[in-house]
């Protein structure tokens, strides 16, 4: 039944993100070794693995910071098979305009700008008026600017940061800064949001709120999510599909239930001997 | 009498500072965004002055009214300098964006020497007289012993340019993109900002202010030559470092401080040691505030 279901999908629909056989070398070091990954429309997918497994490098390849040594990355924003597009080697700003947004492991807000300005920067990316328009400020520029302010404000309201609008980003509490990063990423109108350890450094309460926020983004905005995370509770409760990487290679993929009982995964995380004990 | 002398020196310093500020802005903006000291920036200022001279001579010969000459020559100088700034970035710095910083610096010095010699060959090595474009205003006559009309013109233009620039950086889209890019280039590009375009825009804006400075000072001093950009560039660079390189208010403040230092020391002590005083002052400030008066603190994440 489930097999038929999948084969039926692949006839009509394409994954919104499809990574095929991607490899990334840094000199002699192979950071990513022929990894495949695909995300269907509306899915929440997790990418996990021990430290140094190549997860962030994987994000960097997809978002255009690195150009993969070999392999293909295809996107298809609505899952329509005839609109698949290869994005290897495109610049980060072009990739963002095509609808991929991301956050980083460490907070990278524009600290000397206000919360609203941070989100507005994200909106600017997808608006049209160029440099000349910004300098000479026609009516079009002004309407657009008003639109951007309104849009940014409504995003902040959705994320629950509206009360901080005019605060400098650097003055926000930690949890709020992390949420602001997500808000800023949403401002670029993505169809896929890549979150790199969104729960890092959060307390249990904040993590719970984050869990709820990620679900809400998927359910109300229809944005698919790919996340790297070490908080297994969050990963297991959120994701529909999990990919496990170790030393740059994909060692397992499946539902949370399958991954939980996968002996290879347990070995990679806990080491050979303890893994065997667990199996026994 | 004494007080009048003081005010003269004060305004003299202010005028000097304004010119430094117009050039220092270009240094500091470029440094803020790509951490490059653009040594060819003084040459852009020189090219602005030369373009202004050529266009204004032609227009005056054609018998245009003074006001039209000022505006048209000014615009031509700005456009021409912007084109130079833009091209310079594309040719000499963009290919070296990911190279060690020293390579770009050497490239900048090369660009500076190239432009100087290019003007030397294409124009002349002599000093050229520059027409005084600014007319004497009637209403200003009672005050002109303190502040001459050209000085007034320089001051008011500088203030106007500063206000315009503050507006550009604070409120416009490209200004926000510039601030974002200067803080975190990778994050900026991941938010859809075209970093190359922002860098080009920064060079263009910096060149425009330098060209305005070039015309103003040339018409004030009354002569130009191919070498004028070098010392003005060095002084403006000192001003930018003094104020804290990378900071725009810092560049303006540093320029005024440098202008006043030169003006007062030469006025009260000796005019032979003008540059000596300026640089001694720089050393003293940097001993106590290594990152400049308004410079960003040196603590960085490791």
Q: What is the ipTM of this complex?
A: 0.83
Cβ contacts of A183 on chain B, cutoff 8 Å: none
- Interface check for A1 against chain B (CB to CB < 8 A): the answer is no
Per-residue model confidence as pLDDT tens digits over A9-38: 445 678 999 999 999 999 889 999 999 999
Report how far apart, in Å, the C-alpha atoms of A47 and of each of A60, B118, B263 are: 14, 57, 65
A137 and A173 within one domain: yes
A175 and A112 within one domain: yes
User: pLDDT-derived band of residue A5, with 50, 70 and 90 as boundaries?
Assistant: very low
CATH number of the domain within which A152 lies: 3.40.50.300
Asked whether residue A3 is domain-assigned, the answer is: no
A113–B179 CB contact, under 8 Å:
yes
Residue at which a domain ends, from A135, A160, A189: A189
Cβ contacts of A112 on chain B, cutoff 8 Å: 179, 183
A173 and A37 within one domain: no
Cβ contacts of A124 on chain B, cutoff 8 Å: 173, 176-177, 191-193
A279 and A197 within one domain: yes
Per-residue model confidence as pLDDT tens digits over A87-107: 988 999 999 999 999 999 899
Cβ contacts of A166 on chain B, cutoff 8 Å: none
What are φ and ψ of residue A21, in 5° steps?
Answer: 55, 40
A184 and A138 within one domain: yes
A227 and A167 within one domain: no
Q: Which of A226, A244, A220 is nearest to A99 (CA)?
A: A226
- Nearest residue of A to residue B204, measured between CA atoms: A131
- Nearest residue of A to residue B168, measured between CA atoms: A135
Asked whether residue A94 is domain-assigned, the answer is: yes
- Interface check for A132 against chain B (CB to CB < 8 A): the answer is no
Q: Pick left, alpha or beta for residue A29 (phi over 0 → left; psi -120 to 50 → alpha; otherwise beta).
A: beta
Residues 6+ apart with CB under 8 A from B262: B13, B16, B274, B277, B278
pLDDT reported for residue A136: 64
pLDDT reported for residue B270: 83
The DSSP bridge partners found for residue A102 are A194
User: pLDDT-derived band of residue B277, with 50, 70 and 90 as boundaries?
Assistant: confident
pLDDT reported for residue A2: 36
> What mean pLDDT comes out for the span B227-235?
89
Per-residue model confidence as pLDDT tens digits over A38-59: 999 999 999 999 888 899 999 9
A263 and A236 within one domain: yes
A37 and A80 within one domain: yes
Q: Which domain range does residue A120 map to?
A: 108-189
Q: How many CA atoms lie within 13 A of B273 on its CB side?
A: 12
pLDDT at B141 > cutoff 90: no
Q: Name the 3-class secondary structure at A13.
A: strand
Asked whether residue A1 is domain-assigned, the answer is: no
For chain B, list the domains and their CATH numbers.
2-288 (1.10.3470)
- Are the beta carbons of B245 and B290 closer than 8 angstroms? no
A17 and A66 within one domain: yes
What are φ and ψ of residue B76, in 5° steps?
Answer: -60, -45
Residue at which a domain ends, from A165, A189, A213: A189
Residue at which a domain ends, from A189, A208, A240: A189
A114 and A82 within one domain: no
Q: Give the mean pLDDT of chain A.
A: 86
Q: Name the 3-class secondary structure at B56.
A: helix
Question: Distance from A143 to chain B by nearest Cα, in Å?
Answer: 13
The number of angstroms, rounded, from the C-alpha of A212 to the middle of its chain's C-alpha atoms is 16
pTM for the full predicted model: 0.87
Asked whether residue A266 is domain-assigned, the answer is: yes
> What mean pLDDT comes out for the span B256-277?
88
Question: Distance from B168 to chain A by nearest Cα, in Å?
Answer: 7
Asked whether residue A128 is domain-assigned, the answer is: yes
A196 and A184 within one domain: no
Per-residue model confidence as pLDDT tens digits over B11-52: 999 999 999 999 999 999 999 999 899 999 999 999 999 999
Question: Distance from B280 to chain A by nearest Cα, in Å?
Answer: 33
Q: What is the 3-state secondary structure (H, E, C) of A214-235?
A: HHHHHHHHCCEEEEECCCHHHH
Rounded distance between C-alpha atoms, residue B65 and residue B129, angstroms: 20
A215 and A78 within one domain: yes
Nearest Cβ partner for A121 among B180, B186, B197:
B180
Asked whether residue A6 is domain-assigned, the answer is: no
Asked whether residue A2 is domain-assigned, the answer is: no
- Are the beta carbons of A92 and A104 closer than 8 angstroms? no
| Helix/strand/coil percentages in chain B, nearest 5 | 75, 0, 20
Q: Which of A91, A126, A131 to probe by mutation at the B interface, max B CB count within 10 Å?
A: A131
Domain count for chain A, please give it.
2
B183–A112 CB contact, under 8 Å:
yes
């Amino acid at each position: 039944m489930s097999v038929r279901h999948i084969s039926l999908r692949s006839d009509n629909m394409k994954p919104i993100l499809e990574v095929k056989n991607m490899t990334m070398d840094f000199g002699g070091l192979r950071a990513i070794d022929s990894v495949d990954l695909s995300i269907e429309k509306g899915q929440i997918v997790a990418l996990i693995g021990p430290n140094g497994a190549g997860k962030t490098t994987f994000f960097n390849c997809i978002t255009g910071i690195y150009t993969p040594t070999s392999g293909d990355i295809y996107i298809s924003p609505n899952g329509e098979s005839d609109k698949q597009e290869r994005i290897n080697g495109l610049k980060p700003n072009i990739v963002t305009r095509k609808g991929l947004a991301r956050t980083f492991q460490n907070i990278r807000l524009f600290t000397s700008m206000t919360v609203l300005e941070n989100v507005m920067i994200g909106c600017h990316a997808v608006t049209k008026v160029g440099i000349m328009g910004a300098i000479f400020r026609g009516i079009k520029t002004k309407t657009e600017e008003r639109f951007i302010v309104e849009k940014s404000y409504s995003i902040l309201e959705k994320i629950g940061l509206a009360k901080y609008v005019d605060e400098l980003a650097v003055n926000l509490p930690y949890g709020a800064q992390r949420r602001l990063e997500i808000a800023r990423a949403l401002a670029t109108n993505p169809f896929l949001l890549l979150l790199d350890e969104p729960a890092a450094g959060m307390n249990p309460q904040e993590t719970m709120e984050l869990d709820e926020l990620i679900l809400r983004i998927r359910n109300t905005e229809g944005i698919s999510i790919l996340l790297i995370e070490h908080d297994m509770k969050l990963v297991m409760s959120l994701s529909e599909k999990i990919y496990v990487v170790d030393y740059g290679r994909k060692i397992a993929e499946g539902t949370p239930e399958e991954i939980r009982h996968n002996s290879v995964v347990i070995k990679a995380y806990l080491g050979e001997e303890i893994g065997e004990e667990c199996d026994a | 009498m004494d007080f009048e002398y003081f005010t003269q020196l004060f305004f003299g310093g202010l005028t000097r500072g304004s010119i430094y500020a117009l050039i220092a802005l270009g240094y500091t903006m470029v440094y803020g965004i790509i951490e490059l000291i653009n040594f060819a920036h003084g040459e852009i200022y020189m090219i602005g002055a030369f373009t202004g001279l050529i266009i204004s001579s032609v227009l005056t010969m054609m018998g245009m009214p003074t006001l039209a000459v000022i505006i048209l020559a000014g615009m031509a100088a700005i456009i021409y300098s912007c084109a130079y700034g833009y091209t310079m970035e594309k040719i000499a710095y963009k290919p070296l964006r990911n190279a060690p910083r020293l390579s770009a610096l050497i490239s900048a010095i090369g660009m500076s020497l190239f432009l100087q010699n290019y003007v030397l060959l294409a124009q002349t090595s002599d000093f050229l007289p520059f027409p005084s474009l600014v007319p004497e205003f009637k209403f200003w006559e009672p005050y002109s012993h303190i502040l001459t009309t050209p000085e007034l013109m320089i001051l008011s233009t500088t203030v106007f340019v500063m206000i315009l620039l503050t507006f550009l950086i604070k409120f416009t889209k490209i200004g926000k993109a510039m601030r974002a890019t200067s803080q975190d280039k990778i994050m900026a590009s991941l938010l859809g900002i075209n970093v190359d375009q922002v860098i080009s825009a920064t060079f263009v804006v910096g060149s425009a202010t330098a060209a305005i400075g070039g015309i103003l000072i040339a018409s004030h001093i009354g002569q130009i030559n191919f070498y004028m950009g070098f010392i003005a560039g060095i002084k403006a660079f000192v001003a930018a470092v003094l104020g804290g390189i990378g900071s725009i208010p810092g560049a303006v403040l540093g320029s005024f401080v440098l202008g006043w230092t030169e003006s007062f020391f030469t006025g009260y002590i000796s005019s032979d040691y003008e540059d000596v005083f300026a640089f001694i002052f720089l050393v003293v400030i940097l001993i106590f505030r290594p990152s400049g008066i308004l410079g960003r603190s040196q603590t960085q994440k490791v």
